[in-house]
Amino acid sequence: MKLTVIGCSGSVPGPDSAASSYLVTAEGFNLILDLGSGALGTLQRHLAVPEIGAIGLSHLHPDHCMDLCGLYVAARYAPGAPIPRIPVYGPAGASERMALAYDLPLDPGMEEELDFHTWQEVQAIGPFTIRTAPMVHPIPAYAIRVEYGGKSLVYTGDTGPNEALIELARGADLLLSEAALPDGDPGNPADLHLTPSDAGEHATKAGAKRLVITHVPPWYDPVVQAEHARRTFSGPIEIASTNAVFDI
């Protein structure tokens, strides 16, 4: 299983990265986790739109889903269209949310191009077994565990600290964790995002083998965020960057 970072900028696209999007591949199947603002452009460096096997959305904030609007246009109007409907897994209401984002009638919305499914606790997508758990965020949000060939990747999406993330990430080979807030700031909002120390603590409690820090907003330094994660996690820590590849 291979993880390629398509976009990793937190909350907004940054000067060096689109917003959240990650490509997970195995057996020639391409699973996209989130497709945030600006990510569709970078994704096309790695594969063509018809090569997308499925998309999983952690939640419906624009920095995690809004490039579905561009995907809809490509699937509907690009040469070779129409293409087979692309499965999209996400929170309940994703189909309606995206139709409204593009000012489409709710019926059919984007349903002729994209095949929307609501997350289940466990589902098979291509060669992967996918497990999800609800997270702590202002809107419904999910962490996503991808399993293949005895290996596992866990993506936090956006979340505040919580025990469900630790359980989902138990023994993960790689924990791809957001670290959007700075350590030690008394103004950090509750139940919104993780600090680097939170990310490290969750990785340690889960027994994760590697920690990759992501979703750092452009106004913070990802190197500093990774250094602070070392306060609570003694294993290998890396920083997500556009086009970075991690073998799992």
pLDDT of residue 145: 99
Q: Which amino acid is at 111?
A: E
Distance (Å, whole) CA 194 – CA 190: 9
Contact 165, 178 (CB under 8 A): no
What is the average per-residue pLDDT within 209-226?
A: 98
pLDDT of residue 159: 98
pLDDT of residue 111: 98
Taking all residues of the chain, what is their mean pLDDT, rounded to a whole number?
98
207: left (phi over 0), alpha (psi -120 to 50) or beta: left
Confidence of residue 146 (pLDDT cuts 50, 70, 90): very high
The percent of residues in the chain predicted with pLDDT above 70, rounded, is 100
What is the average per-residue pLDDT within 4-19?
A: 98
What confidence tens digit (pLDDT) does each residue in 220-240 have? Answer: 999 999 999 999 999 999 999
Distance (Å, whole) CA 13 – CA 7: 8
pLDDT of residue 47: 97
pLDDT of residue 100: 98
pTM for this predicted structure:
0.98
Helix (H), strand (E), coil (C) string for the chain: CEEEEEEEECCCCCCCCEECEEEEEECCEEEEEEECCCHHHHHCCCCCHHHCCEEECCECCHHHHCCHHHHHHHHHHCCCCCCCCEEEEECCCHHHHHHHHCCCCCCCCCCCCEEEEECCCEEEECCEEEEEEECCCCCCEEEEEEEECCEEEEECCCCCCCHHHHHHCCCCCEEEEECCCCCCCCCCCCCCCCCHHHHHHHHHHHCCCCEEEECECCCCCHHHHHHHHCCCCCCCEEECCCCCEEEC
pLDDT of residue 13: 98
Confidence of residue 21 (pLDDT cuts 50, 70, 90): very high
What confidence tens digit (pLDDT) does each residue in 24-82 have? Answer: 999 999 999 999 999 999 999 999 999 999 999 999 999 999 999 999 999 999 998 88
Distance (Å, whole) CA 133 – CA 159: 11
pLDDT of residue 237: 98
pLDDT of residue 238: 98
